[in-house]
Structure 1
């Protein structure tokens, strides 16, 4: 039977303490992991020391059209305070800043504002070599070091947002309607495919009202449903519309969704061999490029 690892949980008060923990871990052959609110971890962390920043490193400050935030700061609280200043923090993620950046978590409004990589100006993270200020930590899921602070852009808050939704079962009409929605410059555009119904679902939000026939209309933005990562894969695409259709036709997923403006689709299939002609990786993992960077930045393989 495998020996159970005793995990020591640490709540460091500053970056110096994090750096000391990393140095001690290198010396003692220990592995370090990091944990935020715990709802979005994609990889099962197997570590000796677990760093938690949400209780001690959780401050943030609005500076004009930017915000500087510690990695343990609550994204929800940031959104609420930013809205009081008639500004918008472009994410609907409900965890910590560190989690948002470590996952490079997209949201439906990534159509207009991009992922955290796009609206983050700099990121500080601690490695065995000390503090590095480099956005490369975004999306690395903690493989490269411990994110401690970031500077991110804020945007003008829209007065009203209208959402239009429609279900389609013909590929030709789906392509036509999707191009139409894109031409109107959406704030958010979420596209889904339900394999059991063989149906496409379009969800588009705009800051101005449009006359779109055969669409339901309401106010708000589309929300991505919480779906288990089981049998889920991230597929990299170049042409959002045509690649979406190609996967439907060649792979026949039982569920798939994508956000226009983000060149990734989340595809659910029973057997991932059907994705062999595409660039893909499991949903509970990160892009393989970070494992290559880890060999350089985390040369001693400290971070879990």
Structure 2
């Protein structure tokens, strides 16, 4: 017997249409999912649900040191327009504003500017109760509402950024180097661990030039290259240097990276029981606290 899966996609043009779709779904007892256009983490699409896309909710306006943007607005376009005005949008995410906020996506420059939670002033989202303005929806991955609009901070664009990179295998030396680099106040500090060769890759960016021996030097910021979220988990930490090294030793992941200032590591392991003594959750799912909020904010349990 062949099971037919129905996925209906709707493209609301404004917030009123979003609320109307949600209200009708509640009435008809249909599940609702949300989709932007980014290629980043997506939770599994369940059968027979209605997908709300945000591609028509794509307006944004830059004024002084902030941007007010619809959830479907293109982060890349916002970043480019901000740069023309001498301003920095503090993320290198390449999807929609809604996706950026739904994931609370960290980037290499989160060292200086934090995650979207830190540089977002307010967020509007819509669920069965109507429109709610609440920043706590950031990171919820659509569990209890559709993000429709947000106000985000912009910053003065640095005139130049210098990147220093180095590979280290000795853990004691790594610890000393990271403490030194942190003391110089980086705009970005990304550390990667490759399990195959037991090596740590350091990538640190500054707005000031330094004479760092044994480091290669160029201009720019480090980029994170990821092909999949398969076998990846978010691990919560308290001390970036100590915990990064400790987890590399204890867990021996085949890949891991962390960004100083965020207190989260992304760890790739084929068996998550290796993480059992740590605070962790799958990357393609929101933090467990959002499932508790869902019981209240999605009382009718319509958001997939």
TM-score range with shorter-chain normalisation? over 0.9
Partner of 1:39: 39
Deviations 1:204-227 (A, max 9, x none): 000010010000000000000113
Alpha-carbon distance in 2 for matches of 1:112, 1:126: 31
1:215 pairs with 2:205:
no
The runs of 5 or more residues in structure 2 that have no matched partner are none
Tell me the CA shift for residue 3 of structure 1: 3.4
Paired with 1:88 and 1:51, the residues of 2 have a C-alpha distance of 30
Measure how far apart 1:42 and its partner are.
2.6
Structure 2 Cα separation of the partners of residues 140 and 283 of structure 1 = 12
Q: Where do 1:13-162 residues align within 5 Å?
A: 13-46=13-46, 48-54=49-55, 56-162=56-162
Q: Give the match for residue 262 of structure 1.
A: 262
Please report how far the alpha carbon of residue 84 of structure 1 lies from its aligned counterpart in structure 2 after TM superposition. 0.6
Secondary structure of the residue that 1:13 maps to in structure 2? Answer: coil
Given that 2:38 and 2:96 are in contact with CA atoms closer than 8 Å, whether structure 1 keeps it comes out as no
Q: 1:2 & 1:124 partners in 2: Cα distance? A: 41
Q: Which one is further off, 282-291 or 165-174? A: 282-291
- Structure 1 Cα separation of the partners of residues 238 and 119 of structure 2: 21
Deviation readout 1:263-298 (Å, 9 max, x if unpaired): 110111121111111000111111111111101100
Give the 3-state SS of the residue equivalent to 2:124 in structure 1.
strand
- SS state at 1:117 partner: helix
Using structure 1 for the length normalisation, give the TM-score: 0.98
Alpha-carbon separation, structure 2, partners of 1:213 and 1:181: 12
CA displacement, residues 239-277 of structure 1 (integer Å, 9 cap, x when unaligned): 111111110111111111000011110111121111111
Match of 2:248 in 1: 248
In 1, the alpha carbon distance for the partners of 2:69 and 2:51 equals 21
- Residue deviations 1:27-48, cap 9 Å, x none? 1010111111141143112252
Gap runs ≥5 in structure 1 = none
Mapping for residues 277-288 of structure 1, pairs under 5 Å:
277-288=277-288
Check the 8 A contact 1:254/1:269 in 2, yes or no.
yes
Contact 1:114 1:261 in 2 (8 A): yes
Distance 1:242 1:227 in 2: 27
Count of equivalent residues: 303
Render the CA deviation track for 1:148-174: whole Å, top value 9, x for unaligned: 000000000000000000000000000
What is the aligned partner in structure 2 of residue 302 from structure 1?
302
CA RMSD in angstroms comes to: 1.0
CA distance in 2 between partners of 1:169 and 1:147 (Å)? 44
CA contact (8 A) 1:42 1:283 kept: no
SS at match of 1:111: helix
Comparing 209-218 with 243-252, greater Cα deviation is found at 243-252
Residue 8 (structure 1) aligns with: 8
